[in-house]
Structure 1
Amino acid sequence: MSSPLCKQDFEYLADFRYRLRQFLRFSEELAQSHGITPLQYQLLLQVQGYPGRDWATVAELAERLQSHHHSVVGLINRCESQQLLRKAPGRNDGRQVEISLLPKGLELVEKLAQAHRDELLLLKDLANSPSPDLLLNIQQALKTGN
């Protein structure tokens, strides 16, 4: 059984949640200012950032977005209508659909990802602790009881 939480544990968790929400709000507003929804940005990011290749299947994207297959299909269709991505039959399995970015989608995701990286660096500086390590710091503090 884990030890009870102390005041500092709550402070770490609350600060992490606050900074996470700041980042998410920034992301939402940035996507909308570029004419897409936050979820459309997430889709473009997952396609471009899929490990080892520059495309992903609908099923893979549904997993990465933690969403239902049919919801992701609708999201893909909306992005396709904006000429951000394209669908193609699967290379190894014709029942699958591969999603890849079109030049307009690639340009947009590069611009938004750069701004997101800059915002993460700003939050890191404001927090006076490394943002990517914040969760690890919280986890370590909770384990040690400090």
Structure 2
Amino acid sequence: MENKTIEGLDKAGLERQSQFRYQLRRFLRFGEEAARAAGLTALQYHMLLHTQAFPGRDWASIGELAERLQAQQHGVVALVTRCEEAGLVRRRENQDDRRLVEVHLTPKGRRRVERLAALHQAELGKLAAVIEAARASAGKPG
């Protein structure tokens, strides 16, 4: 078979990208199903997870969550409201900057995110292996 390139990417490169996209989609679908089984949407799980994403603190601002979720701030405010109504998070006014709203997990939210994050760990390992394989073979010819 001829090893043609498309915009500098050969067949093997296309295969690596396809495999990565496939495994990434499997990981995301796993997460969607795991979140649903825990009574959450995938977006709710991601928001809960992202409240824990910043070193030295256990909360996130609305703006930080919007960036992490790649969403508009008004959409994140609505998501936080739904999670607050479900007893998963609570808002607090920042002591240093009263314009800043902190989003904190409740004990219920913490239990959910810890349980789901643990389930995701093994799947994340599988995805990491695919990324490593693609990285290792990226420089090798076809």
TM-score (norm 1): 0.85
Greater helix proportion = 1
1:91 & 1:134 partners in 2: Cα distance?
44
Pick closer, same or farther for the CA change 1:52–1:133 going to 2, 3 Å: farther
- Structure 2 equivalent of residue 9 of structure 1: 13
Stretches of 4+ aligned residues off by more than 3 angstroms: 133-146
* SS of residue matched to 1:48: coil
- Structure 2 equivalent of residue 102 of structure 1: 106
Deviations 1:59-116 (A, max 9, x none): 1111111111000000000000000010010121101100110000000000000000
- Structure 1 equivalent of residue 3 of structure 2: none
- Provide the identity percentage: 45
Give the aligned CA root-mean-square deviation in angstroms: 2.0
Q: CA deviation at 1:21?
A: 0.6
Q: Is the 8 A contact 2:61 2:102 kept in 1?
A: yes
Q: 1:135 aligned to 2:131?
A: yes
What letter corresponds to residue 45 of structure 2 in structure 1? Y
Q: What stretches of structure 1 of length at least 5 have no aligned partner? A: 125-130
Q: What stretches of structure 2 of length at least 5 have no aligned partner? A: 1-6
- Structure 1 equivalent of residue 77 of structure 2: 73
Deviations 1:41-76 (A, max 9, x none): 000000023232101111111111111100000000
TM-score (norm 2): 0.87
Count of matched residue positions in the alignment of Structure 1 and Structure 2: 137
Q: 1:58 aligned to 2:54?
A: no
